[in-house]
Amino acid sequence: MASSASLTRAEVAAMIDHTLLAPGATPDDVAALIYEARELGVLAICVSPSMLPVRAQGLVVATVAGFPSGKHHSLVKGAEARLAVDQGATEVDMVIDVGAALAGDYNAVLSDIVTVREAIGDRAVLKVIIEAAALPDAAIVEVCRVAERAGANFVKTSTGFHPAGGASVHAVELMAATVGGRLGVKASGGIRTAEAAADLIAAGATRLGLSKSREVLDGFPA
């Protein structure tokens, strides 16, 4: 296991998407998220598309599309992503159709991602949420390859809402090995301690999606 002492608080903060995707989130909650994000020095905030636009100067603004099930029509995901970018988001985390991946229909997964990529063009970073905990290893590899072919910038482990679970060291290692540094790897879902975050970074995560950012960062040295 990696040690949190080998990473500084600032280094980890620069990798964090400080996230609020709870269905009951209010505008006041989003304002509090932005305030805390600035206080913690994180890279980005990630909010639901219905909460856009937001005033978050100095922070990257990320949102989601097809969240959390991935069972939206591709054109709906594309329209949702395009509207979000029009409203100021510069990163979009889209959810694939996990069922298509489980069925081995990687052409459908490719088409889904391409639709969103074309909808937002080069105006925003595209992260592809694969729900790694729900997929066998072979499917994780194939979906990562498909995401790269489709023009994604990142592959991301999880929504944090799937009953199969969130990020794991094994999944991140497999994803990082597959994309080989050509894409970023975002670990998200169930990361609540500095030790867990350090292990995922050691496994190859280049971005972390956290709702408990303060608790995680408090475990890293200044």
Q: Supply the residues annotated as catalytic.
A: 93, 156, 186
| Paired strand residues for 192 | none
Which is nearest to 80 in space by CA: 106, 108, 48, 111? 48
CA angle 92, 94, 100 (to 5 degrees): 165
Give me the residues paired with residue 185 across strands: 155
> 51 φ, ψ to 5°?
-90, -5
> Residue 18 forms beta bridges with which residues?
45, 210
CA 38/CA 60 separation, integer angstroms: 11
User: Between β-strands 184-188 and 125-129, what pairing exists: parallel, antiparallel or unpaired?
Assistant: unpaired
Label residues 171-185 b or e (16+ Cβ within 10 Å = b).
bbbbbbebbeeebbb
| Count of positions (residues) in the chain | 222
Q: How far apart are CA 198 and CA 7, in angstroms?
A: 8
Q: Give, for 89, the enclosing helix (H) or strand (E).
A: none
- The answer to whether 132 touches 164, Cβ cutoff 8 Å, is no
The owner of tokens 């006041």 is: 28
